[in-house]
Structure 1
Amino acid sequence: MGLELLAGRLVTPTFGGSIYVWGSVIGVFLTALSVGYAVGGRTAKYASPALLVSVLAASAAFAAAVVVGGETVVELSASLPIPTRYAAVPSIVVLFGPLTFFVGLVSPYGAELSAAESRGAASGRVYALGTIGSIIGTFGTTFVLIPALEVTVIAALFGGLLLVAALLVAEPTPRAVGKLGVTALLLLSATVVGVYGVNVGEDTLYEDQTAYSELRVGEADGVRTLYLDGVRHSAMYTDDRDGYVFEYSKYAHVPMLWQDDVDRVLFIGGGGFSGPKRFAEEYDVTVDVVEIDPGVVHAAEEYFGVSEGPNFDVHVEDGRRFLEQTNHTYDLVVLDAYQRDAVPFHLTTVEFMELAASKLDDDGALVANVISARSGAGSAFFRAEMKTMERAFPHVYAFPTSDTDALQNIEIVATKGQSWSQSELEALAGTRDVGVDLTGAVTRYTHPSEVETGDVPVLTDEHAPVDALLQGQAGKRYVVRQNNTTTARVAQPAL
Structure 2
Amino acid sequence: MSQRALPSRLPTRPETAVFVSGVTSMGLEILAGRILAPEFGNSIYTWGGIIGVFLAALSLGYHRGGRRASANASHSRLVWVFLATALYVAGVVLFGDMVVRATGLFPVPSQFASLPAITLLFGPPTYLLGYVSPYAAELAGGDVGATAGHVYALGTIGSIVGAFATTYVLVPTLSVPQIGLVLGLSAVAAAAAVAAPDLIGATGLRVGSVALALVVAAAVGGVGPAVAGDSVYSTQTAYQELRVVDRGDTRTMYLDGQPHSAMDRRDATRHVFDYTRYFHAPLLLTEDVDRVLFVGGGGFTGPRIFHEMYPNVTVDVVEIDPAVVDAADQYFGIPASERMNVHVDGGRQYLESTNRTYDLIVLDAYRKDSVPFQLTTVEFMQLASDRLDDDGVLLANLIAAPSGPASEFYRAEYGTMEQVFPRVYSFPTAGGPVVQNIEVVATKRSTLVTEAELQARNERRDIGIDLSGELSSYRRDEPTQDVPVLTDDRAPVDTLLDTTVGQRYVRVRANESGATRSNATVTAAVEE
Identify whether the pair has TM-score above 0.5, normalized to the shorter chain. yes
Q: What displacement does 1:385 show?
A: 0.6
Q: Distance in 1 between matches of 2:268 and 2:169?
A: 40
Q: Distance in 1 between matches of 2:211 and 2:354?
A: 54
Aligned to 1:452, which of 479, 495, 498?
A: 479
Q: Paired residue for 2:400?
A: 372
Q: Paired residue for 2:118?
A: 92
Q: Which moved more, 1:122-131 or 1:363-372?
A: 122-131
1:392 alignment partner, SS class: coil
Q: Deviations over 1:447-477 (max 9, x none)?
A: 11xx221110111111111111001001111
2:419 alignment partner, SS class: helix
What are the ranges of 5 or more consecutive residues in structure 1 without an aligned counterpart?
Answer: none
1:486 aligns with 2:522: yes
1:189 aligns with 2:225: no
Q: Paired residue for 1:65?
A: 91
1:317-356 aligned at under 5 Å gives the runs 317-356=345-384
Q: What displacement does 1:128 show?
A: 1.9
1:151-230 aligned at under 5 Å gives the runs 151-170=176-195, 171-194=198-221, 200-230=227-257
1:112-131 aligned at under 5 Å gives the runs 112-114=138-140, 117-131=142-156
Q: What displacement does 1:181 show?
A: 2.8
Q: Distance in 1 between matches of 2:465 and 2:27?
A: 48
The amino acid of 1:472's aligned partner reads T
The amino acid of 1:155's aligned partner reads G
Q: Which moved more, 1:178-187 or 1:84-93?
A: 178-187
What are the ranges of 5 or more consecutive residues in structure 2 without an aligned counterpart?
Answer: 1-25, 512-520
1:14-413 aligned at under 5 Å gives the runs 14-45=39-70, 46-114=72-140, 117-170=142-195, 171-194=198-221, 200-240=227-267, 242-283=269-310, 284-413=312-441
Q: What displacement does 1:225 show?
A: 0.6
Q: What displacement does 1:195 show?
A: 5.8
Aligned to 1:5, which of 5, 30, 44?
A: 30
Normalised by the length of structure 1, the TM-score is 0.96
Q: Distance in 2 between matches of 1:223 and 1:376?
A: 33
C-alpha RMSD of matched pairs (Å): 1.6
Q: Deviations over 1:379-429 (max 9, x none)?
A: 000001111111100011001111222111000000012431110001111
Q: What displacement does 1:48 show?
A: 1.0
Q: Distance in 1 between matches of 2:302 and 2:469?
A: 19
1:433 aligns with 2:443: no
Q: Distance in 1 between matches of 2:95 and 2:201?
A: 31
1:315 alignment partner, SS class: strand
Q: Distance in 2 between matches of 1:40 and 1:235?
A: 52
The amino acid of 1:405's aligned partner reads P
Describe the shift of the 1:490–1:313 C-alpha distance in structure 2 as closer, same or farther (beyond 3 A).
closer
1:469 aligns with 2:496: yes
Q: Deviations over 1:294-324 (max 9, x none)?
A: 1111111111111453121111111111111
Q: What displacement does 1:174 show?
A: 2.2
The amino acid of 1:108's aligned partner reads P
Aligned-pair identity in percent equals 53
The amino acid of 1:99's aligned partner reads P
Q: What displacement does 1:172 show?
A: 3.3
Q: Distance in 2 between matches of 1:190 and 1:490?
A: 28
2:475 alignment partner, SS class: coil
Q: Which moved more, 1:416-425 or 1:4-13?
A: 416-425
Describe the shift of the 1:308–1:135 C-alpha distance in structure 2 as closer, same or farther (beyond 3 A).
farther
Q: What displacement does 1:258 show?
A: 3.9
The amino acid of 1:444's aligned partner reads S
- Asked whether the 8 Å contact 1:475–1:491 carries over to 2, the reply is no
Q: What displacement does 1:199 show?
A: 5.0
The amino acid of 2:235's aligned partner reads D
Q: Distance in 2 between matches of 1:369 and 1:200?
A: 24
Q: What displacement does 1:241 show?
A: 7.3
Q: Distance in 1 between matches of 2:57 and 2:222?
A: 28
Describe the shift of the 1:443–1:296 C-alpha distance in structure 2 as closer, same or farther (beyond 3 A).
same
- Asked whether the 8 Å contact 2:234–2:242 carries over to 1, the reply is yes
2:252 alignment partner, SS class: strand
Describe the shift of the 1:336–1:241 C-alpha distance in structure 2 as closer, same or farther (beyond 3 A).
closer
Q: Distance in 2 between matches of 1:164 and 1:454?
A: 59
- Asked whether the 8 Å contact 1:478–1:491 carries over to 2, the reply is no
- Asked whether the 8 Å contact 1:320–1:347 carries over to 2, the reply is yes
- Asked whether the 8 Å contact 2:259–2:527 carries over to 1, the reply is no
- Asked whether the 8 Å contact 1:218–1:226 carries over to 2, the reply is yes
The amino acid of 2:524's aligned partner reads A
Q: Distance in 2 between matches of 1:185 and 1:209?
A: 24
Describe the shift of the 1:366–1:199 C-alpha distance in structure 2 as closer, same or farther (beyond 3 A).
closer
The amino acid of 1:374's aligned partner reads P
Q: Deviations over 1:135-161 (max 9, x none)?
A: 111111111100111111111211111
Q: Distance in 2 between matches of 1:413 and 1:259?
A: 12
Q: Distance in 1 between matches of 2:227 and 2:399?
A: 25
- Asked whether the 8 Å contact 1:308–1:314 carries over to 2, the reply is no
Q: Distance in 2 between matches of 1:442 and 1:190?
A: 51
Q: Distance in 1 between matches of 2:346 and 2:309?
A: 27
Describe the shift of the 1:297–1:248 C-alpha distance in structure 2 as closer, same or farther (beyond 3 A).
same
Q: Distance in 1 between matches of 2:223 and 2:65?
A: 37
Q: Distance in 2 between matches of 1:467 and 1:51?
A: 43
